[in-house]
Amino acid sequence: MRFISTDQISEGMVLSKNIYDQSLKLLIHSGNPLTPRYIQKIKDLGYQGIYISDDLSKDIEIPDIVYDELRVEAFKAVKEVCIHAYQYSKNDKKNAAGVEKHYQDIKQLSTKLILDLKSRKIDRINLIDLKIFEDYIVSHNVNVGVLSLFLGLSIGLSTIELQRLGVAALLHDVGKMFIDPKVLNKVGKLTDEEFKLVNMHSSYSYRYIKESYHVHASTYLGILYHHEKIDGTGYPKGKSGNDIPLYSRIISICDVYDALTSNRPNRSPLLPSEAMEYMMASGDTAFDMDILKVFMNKVSPFPKGIEVLLSNGERGLVIDNTKDLSLRPTLKIFMAKDEAVDPTVVDLATSPNYRNVTIKEVLHSKVHL
């Protein structure tokens, strides 16, 4: 399978990963060819790209970090909490019932995610997440929850620590339900007052979780401080270094990564390599560098199935990644200077003929063989 951007989809391409609509109903099952109606629906939903299967990529397998069914369950559970938070923000006590059930659902969900991640033993995230613009707050909470648990496992947190981290990460941005959507989704620069309002979301999340749920202090404090920066320039308290709780330092990294790779009102999503470059550039001021380095080693900047252009003019698909040499993946070269060639496997990490060749850019164009 391989990844292509939405604007490169054409009729007859065979889908290799399920596509869901905004109601989390299965829209197109993997293995089905794309029809004009399906293509238009994918574009209308705001997907940045899809995974397809073809002869060139038939040997590339890319596992999801969690199973589709569990991700859908997570989306529904977090959405219920967001609905409750919105009602709570309006002081609608009558329609804000069921809070204990919502918390238990999130707690159980955190446990399920931990067990799923442990059982699958995925060493590295090798996937561009298929995202839609609809329900960004919900999907962002879910994505950050999964990424945070994956990172927590990677640094050796205990099961109880992982469960508390999971609840914090899955609910870290529910405070945005207290803010006018017109401000959150505004296209263009925010006013000073709007910027201050948006920056209140971590405090709103903290207050809502602390007042509504019987959670461990580390959970709601992890939520409160997830926008603090290691150099003390973050918010809401300007904490720095190890004064920032561990869960906050973990969530911060996953929060920024998912936000950068998501479609937002003011910008298009970045590719994993671009997001990682941005984060490393600001790492020593914004993040815990020890944790960030672990994260960078666990996320492939050039995931399997993406097309890249090399500095020597060749084009290829990423088919594997090399541990500790993430910028030097294994490729299947299929074009040289705009001419098709017999596909050849090249390991940029070991091949002497490619010692001075680098990846120049990531492409999503349709392959013509």
CATH at 90:
1.10.3210.10
Please say which residue of 277, 298, 319 terminates a domain: 298
Does residue 368 lie in a domain region? Answer: no
pLDDT for 294-353, tens place per residue?
Answer: 999 999 999 999 999 999 999 999 999 887 788 899 999 999 988 999 999 999 999 999
Of 168, 198, 203, the closest CA to residue 183 belongs to 198
CATH at 21:
3.90.105.10
Same domain, 18 and 121: no
Same domain, 220 and 150: yes
Confidence of residue 47 (pLDDT cuts 50, 70, 90): confident
How much is the pLDDT for 103? 87
Which residues are CB-contacts of 304 (< 8 A; sequence separation ≥ 6)? 60, 61, 62, 126, 127, 318, 319, 320, 321
Does residue 63 lie in a domain region? Answer: no
pLDDT for 249-292, tens place per residue?
Answer: 999 999 999 999 887 777 778 888 899 999 999 888 999 999 99
Does residue 247 lie in a domain region? Answer: yes
User: What whole-number percentage of the chain has pLDDT above 70?
Assistant: 95
Same domain, 6 and 93: no
How much is the pLDDT for 154? 96
Q: Which amino acid is at 108?
A: Q
Does residue 226 lie in a domain region? Answer: yes
Does residue 213 lie in a domain region? Answer: yes
Cα 273 from chain centroid (whole Å) = 13
Same domain, 22 and 111: no
Which residues are CB-contacts of 343 (< 8 A; sequence separation ≥ 6)? 56, 332, 333, 334
Same domain, 149 and 242: yes
Does residue 258 lie in a domain region? Answer: yes
Same domain, 156 and 244: yes
pLDDT for 139-156, tens place per residue?
Answer: 899 999 999 999 999 999
Confidence of residue 135 (pLDDT cuts 50, 70, 90): confident
Same domain, 162 and 39: no
Same domain, 231 and 322: no
Same domain, 255 and 229: yes
Q: What is the mean pLDDT of the chain?
A: 90
Q: Is the pLDDT of residue 73 over 70?
A: yes
Confidence of residue 112 (pLDDT cuts 50, 70, 90): very high
- How many domains does one find in the chain? 3
Please say which residue of 298, 327, 349 terminates a domain: 298
pLDDT for 25-41, tens place per residue?
Answer: 888 999 999 999 999 99
Does residue 76 lie in a domain region? Answer: yes
Report the alpha-carbon angle 201-204-209, nearest 5.
125
Same domain, 293 and 251: yes
pLDDT for 201-219, tens place per residue?
Answer: 999 999 999 988 889 999 9
How much is the pLDDT for 133? 53
Peptide bond preceding 236 in cis form (omega within 30 of 0): yes
How much is the pLDDT for 92? 60
Does residue 353 lie in a domain region? Answer: yes
Same domain, 239 and 352: no
C-alpha span between 301 and 274 (Å, rounded)? 8
How much is the pLDDT for 364? 62
Which structural domain range is residue 328 located in? 307-363
Element (H, E) at 209: helix 201-212
Q: Is the pLDDT of residue 369 over 50?
A: no
Same domain, 162 and 278: yes
Confidence of residue 368 (pLDDT cuts 50, 70, 90): very low
Which of helix, strand or coil describes residue 34?
coil
Which of helix, strand or coil describes residue 266?
coil
Residues 307 and 363 sit within 8 Å (Cβ to Cβ): yes
Please say which residue of 243, 274, 298 terminates a domain: 298
